Amino acid sequence: MAGRRGTLGTIIKTWGSAPRPVGAMVAIRDDGQVSGSVSGGCVEDDLIDKVKSKAVAAKAPQLITYGVTNEEATRWGLPCGGTLQLVLEPLGEESRIAELLERIAGQQLVRRRLDMESGRATLEPGKWRDTLEFDGKLLSSVHGPRWRLLLIGAGQLTRYLAEMARMLDYHVVVIDPREEYADAWDLPNVALQRGMPDDLIRDMNLDGHSAVIALTHDPKLDDLALMEALKSAAFYVGAIGSKKNNDARRERLREFDLSADEIARLRGPVGLYIGSKTPPEIAVAILAEMTAVRHGVAKPDWAEKKESRFDPSACETAPAKA
């Protein structure tokens, strides 16, 4: 805030057709500058006026509600019957926002607890299953990457996937024991582990917030990783390569201790069919499919993979920097 007074707003409850979900946030500076959104416009305009005039949360956190009636919902630009409740808090040293941002930048998942009476905040390591909680006295919120993405192989496509996935709230880990790839890895804030994929995946206790994608084209690495990932609770398991190569991969996986249902979970060729040819386009296709799976959206007919699909990443044989 560069010495300016600031107020942070967090949606803690919604009713009806609220435009933003619980946990959405907005930061408002005392001169009216705003970052984030809790409604898409009208509510922010009112909050800006209230913050500038010190009419709300001037000294301590405060609970505020918008859109109790249909008339008020219309006034604040909310869908008919929509209602949202926010906690507004004045920011200061006791808010520990600078430390929170530093931890998030380091790919840490953080639980922040705000005492409504004192305005003091505490920080502690978060867990993947943590959710926002509010009991009127304490606001507990979760910040940082809520999803995990494990990428097997540190090639060029991995770089694009890792960078894009971080924007989508993933904590990204790259696994590659091959020295020629691992030694060239230098993407900031994306950890690389050099162990064998199956051992590392087994130790990570993958849950429903985890995804695994095999990208090396080396069966000794990809198949071992997939063998463990398909037995886990990961919501998405995929492998790069053509349909022919993935059919052969499924045949190899049948030789391991995997059931037919577990093998059927494998998504390969990975990603939606959108005509992608370059590594960045392939990364978009993969993350689009992962997003659809996360939200339970059925794959449209036009996105079905075509047998003749060209897989340019199959030509990737040496480490390259994005």
CA distance 12 to 136: 10
Tokens of 48: 């800006």
Report CA torsion sign: 238, 288, 271, 297: positive
* pLDDT of the residue at 309: 44
In whole angstroms, give the CA distance from residue 126 to residue 145: 10
Instruction: Reply yes or no on whether the pLDDT at 264 is more than 60.
Output: yes
Nearest partner of 37 among 62, 61, 19, judged by Cα: 19
Bridge partners for 8 per DSSP: 27, 89
CATH number given to 147-315: 3.40.50.720
Render pLDDT for 270-302 as a digit per residue (tens, 0 to 9). 999 999 999 999 999 999 999 999 999 987 777
Q: Measured between alpha carbons, how far is 254 from 258 in angstroms, rounded to an integer?
A: 6
* pLDDT exceeds 50 at position 49: yes
pLDDT digits (tens, 9 = 90+) for 165-187: 999 989 999 999 999 999 999 99
How many angstroms separate the CA atoms of 267 and 277, rounded?
Answer: 18
Structure tokens at 214: 């095999």
What single DSSP character describes residue 55? -
Tokens of 4: 């300016």
Three-state DSSP class for residue 311: coil
What mean pLDDT is predicted for residues 250-268? 94
Which pLDDT belongs to residue 300?
76
Rg (C-alpha) for the chain, rounded Å, is: 23
- At 129-164, the pLDDT tens digits run 789 999 999 999 999 888 999 999 999 999 999 999
| Closest to 33 (Cα-Cα) out of 52, 19, 20, 59 | 52
b/e map 245-260, b = 16+ CB within 10 Å: bbeebbeebeeeebee
Q: What is the pTM of this model?
A: 0.69
The pLDDT of residue 308 is 45
Reported in sequence order, the residue ranges of 235-306 that DSSP labels E, i.e. its strands, are 236-239, 266-267
- As a whole number, the mean pLDDT across the chain is 88
Other beta carbons within 10 Å of 218 = 14
* Top-ranked range on mean pLDDT: pick from 54-58, 144-148, 159-163, 218-222: 159-163
Strands 25-29 and 34-36: what pairing? antiparallel
Mean pLDDT confidence for 266-272: 94
- Which residues are within 8 A (CB) of 164 and not within 5 positions of it... i.e. 6 or more apart? 283, 284, 287
Mean pLDDT for 17-37 is 89
2: confidence class by pLDDT, cuts 50, 70, 90: low
Let me know: does 137 contact 116? Beta carbons within 8 Å: yes
Backbone angles phi, psi at 154, to 5 degrees: -110, 40
Q: Where are the domains of the chain?
A: 6-143, 147-315
pLDDT of residue 319: 47
Query: Is the pLDDT assigned to residue 267 strictly greater than 70?
Result: yes
Is residue 253 over pLDDT 70?
Answer: yes
How much of the chain, in percent, has pLDDT values that exceed 90?
70
Phi, psi of 148 (to 5 degrees): -115, 140
Return the pLDDT at 104: 86
**pLDDT-derived band at 80, boundaries 50, 70, 90:** low
Answer for the pair 147, 138: CB distance below 8 angstroms, yes or no. Answer: no
**pLDDT band, residue 64 (cuts 50/70/90):** very high
